[in-house]
Amino acid sequence: MDGNPRHSIVSDGLQVLRNLQHRGAVGGDQKTGDGAGIMTQIPHDFFKKTVSGMSLPEKGSYAVGMAFFPHACDTDAYKKSIELSVESRGFALLGWREVPVDSEGLGELALTTEPGIHQFFITHESLRGDALQRQLYVLRRLIEKNVEEVLGGKEQFYICSLSSSVIVYKGMLTGDQVEPYYPDLRSKEYVSAFAIIHSRFSTNTLPQVASGSAVPLPRAQR
């Protein structure tokens, strides 16, 4: 809680996520989660060493978008739509990065809908701080609107985060699948001063056959 970014904060957050595994909702294949992920600060030094084909400006002066493209889609078409929206709001695209993933441990259901995951890096000539964050929110909504109008299938396109300060790694994963699925999170150079984790919990009620209502589980079973 000292505000100093380090990898141990990220790894500790992922351990908390694994500790919540018993509460997470799981599909019939026992490997498809109902949603889990982690939010951290943007790991500036990690990206400076990892991204290729672009030169990142100073920390806080650029934003990273984490985008899910529909399964087996025309990737170039989605990228073009995003780039047009970026330019229309006065932003400049720095480049794209395909996020490395390890799908080996995914369930059958998750694999059939697994998205293509891409990060896009953008900057603005004059906006910084809160003014930049406000315009990034507007841009995110504009991207979603334009994708729906031009390409359709908005329900399969999703921007997890678009910010100059934070980034979200998530998916239809169980709590213990998040770190193996995203190799980025295991890098010692991926550092953050905080980590916020989430796992979508299964319900703690059971159907009551006689009345069709739901009754709470006894406390010991929650």
Q: Are 185 and 170 in contact (CB under 8 A)?
A: no
- The residue among 143, 88, 90 whose CA lies nearest residue 120 is 143
Which residue type occupies 78? Y
Tell me the pLDDT tens digit for each residue of 159-196: 999 999 999 999 888 888 999 999 999 999 999 999 99
Q: Which residues, in sequence order, are bridge partners of residue 145?
A: none
DSSP secondary structure letter of residue 123: E
Structure tokens at 41: 């600060």
- The residue among 211, 201, 215, 206 whose CA lies nearest residue 36 is 201
Tell me the pLDDT tens digit for each residue of 24-78: 555 555 566 678 999 999 999 999 999 988 999 999 999 999 999 998 888 999 9
Q: How far apart are the C-alpha atoms of 16 and 86, rounded to whole Å?
A: 36
Place of tokens 């985008």: 67
Tell me the pLDDT tens digit for each residue of 84-140: 999 999 999 999 999 999 998 887 777 888 899 999 999 999 999 999 999 999 999
Indicate if the pLDDT at residue 206 is higher than 90.
no
Q: How far apart are the C-alpha atoms of 11 and 72, rounded to whole Å?
A: 32
Indicate if the pLDDT at residue 154 is higher than 70.
no
